[in-house]
Structure 1
Amino acid sequence: MDPGRPDALRAAIERRLRSLAVFEAANIPLQAVIWFGVLGLPGSAANLAGFALFALLLAEGTAYWAAKLRQVRRPGRRLPGLTFFRVVRVVNVPLLAAGLALAGYAVATDPGRASWPGLGFAVFAVLEHVNYFHLQLMHDTVADWRRLRRGGLHRSHLARDLRRTRTRPGRQYIRLPPPA
């Protein structure tokens, strides 16, 4: 790929966004099979609630990367689903708090395989919420690591999209060269 060519850059961005959406979606059933099938975790209330929160956040991540891909394919358009992402950013907070409370109570009253994994799933869901809606915690590319070393944590892509459209009314434009 020649990064100087706009069509090559666009194709690389589209591949990255598609892979992010696919891997987030694939992780939901994959993790269910690993934890509850292969490892045989009990389907306790704490474990299922924690996993449900984890799956919910992965589904929201899938929706975001798919929306971002649609936006990149149609330059000059707002991010599809902005209202949805604004709503779930707020709705997630009490859901995550309730899930953490349920799992925390289960760990305090009956620690073991029926509670600790649920708490772990709930904590991971909270971290995913922060990663999507506030600060980028996931750093999986060389560019991400360089940016982290230079300036520390920074706003997540979704947080920037939500902020950009809140502070500037009208259409939200993505700055990519037009297709060749």
Structure 2
Amino acid sequence: MATKTRADLLKRLDPYWKMEAANVLFVPAFLIWLSDWRLSWITLAPMVAIMLLLVIGTLYWRGKVRQLRGDGGDFSVLLRCISSWRQPALALTLCGCVSAMLGWLVPSWSAGLADRNIATGCAVLAVLEYINYYHRQLQHFDNRDDFQRLLAGKGFRKSWLARDIEVLNRPSTSPKRLDFD
């Protein structure tokens, strides 16, 4: 693997937080438009779960970029906050899955097939975002080295947020290195 400079890393990572922030608005707006404004409550929980996870991603990547630039302040404070949102994000994601499932079990609770499909899609996306941030890096299409690693059969690596939280939670005798390996 080629040696990456801080500038290379910043160039690759800086757009992430902007993309996540834009998607907090664009994903729900697109789905509402796609449904022709006919969504019911079954879509609300999984859609809110996606939005929360995108906000978490926005804050994390912006904080990470600022840390790499040397103007991030106390990155560990942000990580503690994001870590504390882990359980609420999981609970909301699971509620979204139940909500979407209820739309299929009791079709009269939904606003129609589009509503049930969008609720299901949102639930799946929320689960994938949760895993991608708090457990395993699922996104491999935007970085050649990551994609080659995946194709080589080395599996999914621990997500960068999960690694940073792990370092943050190490006993205080360990050095607190919050960066990319």
TM-score computed with the length of structure 1 as normaliser: 0.83
Alpha-carbon contact 2:167-2:176 (below 8 Å) kept? yes
Q: What SS does structure 2 have at the residue aligned with 1:68?
A: helix
CA shift digits 1:118-152 (9 cap, x unpaired): 12101211110000000011112111111223311
Name the stretch that deviates more: 136-145 or 111-120.
111-120
Partner residue, 1:135:
136
The alignment's TM-score, normalised by the length of structure 2, stands at 0.83
Asked whether the equivalents of residues 41 and 114 of structure 1 are also in contact (C-alpha less than 8 Å), the reply is no
Note the C-alpha offset of 1:18.
1.5
Identity, % of aligned pairs? 30
Q: CA deviation at 1:173?
A: 2.8
- Tell me if the contact between 1:71 and 1:80 (Cα under 8 Å) persists in the aligned partners: no
Q: 1:50 to 1:41 in 2, by over 3 A?
A: farther
Count of residues in Structure 1 that have an aligned counterpart in Structure 2 = 171
1:50 aligns with 2:51: no
Task: Work out whether residues 132 and 158 of structure 1, in 8 Å CA contact, stay in contact via their aligned partners in 2.
Answer: yes
User: What RMSD over aligned residues (CA atoms) do the two structures have, in Å?
Assistant: 2.5
Would the aligned equivalents of 2:42 and 2:99 in 1 still touch at CA under 8 Å?
yes
**Counterpart for residue 25 of structure 2:** 29
Does the aligned pair in 2 maintain the 1:70–1:80 contact within 8 Å? no
Compute the displacement of 1:175 (Å).
5.8
Q: Which has the higher contact order (CA 8 A, sep 6+)?
A: 1
Aligned to 1:115: 116
Divergent runs of 4+, >3 A: 75-80
- Flag structure 2 segments of 5+ consecutive residues without an equivalent: none
